[in-house]
A and B are shown apart, each in its own frame.
Chain A
Amino acid sequence: MIVRILGEGQFRVGDVAAELNRLDTELEAAVNHNDEAAFGAALDGLLAHVRAQGTPLPPDTLEPSDLILPAEDTSMDEVRKMLTGEGLIPG
């Protein structure tokens, strides 16, 4: 499975879907409850997990990612905008 961390690059990760999903659910709950502290903690946890478990893909691959994670200093507000597709350059 390929995971992209925005602003950082793509990683190939093994069978870590369960842990990623658990952290991702926390992240989503934090966004829904407008809890900035929980959001920061969940995002940091997710990114740390992907970096620790994953292998960076070479920069010249053209493989799309299965999952995309916000960059580490992304605010909750920015994530909300991202989910509506705002600020993205269309292909």
Chain B
Amino acid sequence: MGVMKRVSLVFKAKANKALDKMEDPRETLDYSYQRQLELLTKVRRGVADVATSRKRVELQMNQLQQSSNKLEDQARKALGMGREDLARAALERKASAQSQLNDLQVQYAQLQGEEEKLTVASQRLQSKVDAFRTRKETIKATYTAAEAQTRINEAFSGISEEMGDVGMAIQRAEDKTAQMQARAGAIDELMASGALDDAIGGRRDDIQSELDMMAASSDVERELSRLKGEITAGAPKQLEGGANGTSQATQSQPQSTQGAQDQGGPYAPPPPPSQALPAGIPVSDLPAAEPQDGEGS
């Protein structure tokens, strides 16, 4: 026996089993009608669930697209600053975002397909349920229990088959949706981890912070060379003072102290123990950054 016949026998067996449970076949009509209405509600809820999943995938696709655009922009900026390594890192992430995006596009199409199928299934079931209700009333009004049997069986098998079909469609849609939700959750986690730059959250990713750091450090470099220029102007006197005598060193002292304070640098007043030291302590024991030998001797 082929597959077609076996599948239809499985459907018929299900229908017969339900029919056999009823003593008065007319009871079957009302019972089945209730089940049909329940299934209609279920299939409509199924359509709504799939639509929700589809919208979530759509939102993620938008986020990934924005990330991808931003990463390309970062790559361009990084190249402009001569940082090919950083540009490469940004483009690698962009490729990852793009591959996720392509995957989501496939899923999106699948969910759209499921949504359409379920919508059509729900309309078809609605037509059959309407037809069944009409038939049910006719049978109940016109026939005795014995006479009704054949007609009930016909109507019942027809609707039962449709219900089996719709039930399977709902099951498949639920399975697909569950798969999508698992993937969508994984992508959310990926975005939250910062492996893909989350443009929507406005959180700064590490490529951006490195670009910012480079911009900031070029400011620092500029400041540094300005200060170096100032110090270089005063430096020869300092060196001479250190080597030749107390009077010149004392002369240069205010300038050197001033420079260190401007810079917010490592200048600090000599620690208390050194003030208590007797004169004649070796110059080399004093902090190297502060050639204050004049003070020491």
Binding site for B on A (CB under 8 A): 3-4, 6-7, 9, 20-21, 24-25, 27-28, 31, 46, 58-71, 79, 82-85, 87-91
Contacts and interface: CB of A to CB of B under 8 A. Distances in A.
A46 B155 CA distance: 27
Interface stretch (B53-61, B94-102, B161-169, B258-266): B161-169
Contacts of B166: 89
Nearest to A9: B124
B178 interface: no
B158 A85 contact: no
A69 to B, nearest CB: 6
Interface string B129-169: 01110010000000000000000001111111101111111
A68 B32 contact: no
Nearest to A59: B127
Contact of B169 (A7, A20, A63): A7
Given A89-B164, A91-B14, A91-B18, 12 more contacts: A6-B169, A59-B127, A60-B128, A60-B131, A61-B158, A68-B7, A69-B3, A70-B7, A88-B10, A88-B11, A89-B167, A91-B163
B1 to A, nearest CB: 8
Interface residues of B, number: 46
A90 B161 contact: no
A83 B3 contact: yes
For chain B, what secondary structure do more than half of its interface residues adopt (helix, strand, loop), or is it mixed?
Answer: helix
Interface of B: 2-8, 10-15, 17-19, 32, 35, 39, 117, 121, 123-124, 127-128, 130-132, 135, 154-161, 163-169, 171-172
Nearest to A85: B10
A49 B127 CA distance: 26
A61 to B, nearest CB: 7
A9 B165 CA distance: 9
B8 A67 contact: yes
A62 B128 contact: yes
A59 B169 CA distance: 16
Given A24-B2, A24-B3, A61 B131 contact: yes
Contact of A87 (B12, B39, B171): B171
B177 to A, nearest CB: 15
A83 B10 contact: yes
Contacts of B163: 89, 91
B138 to A, nearest CB: 12
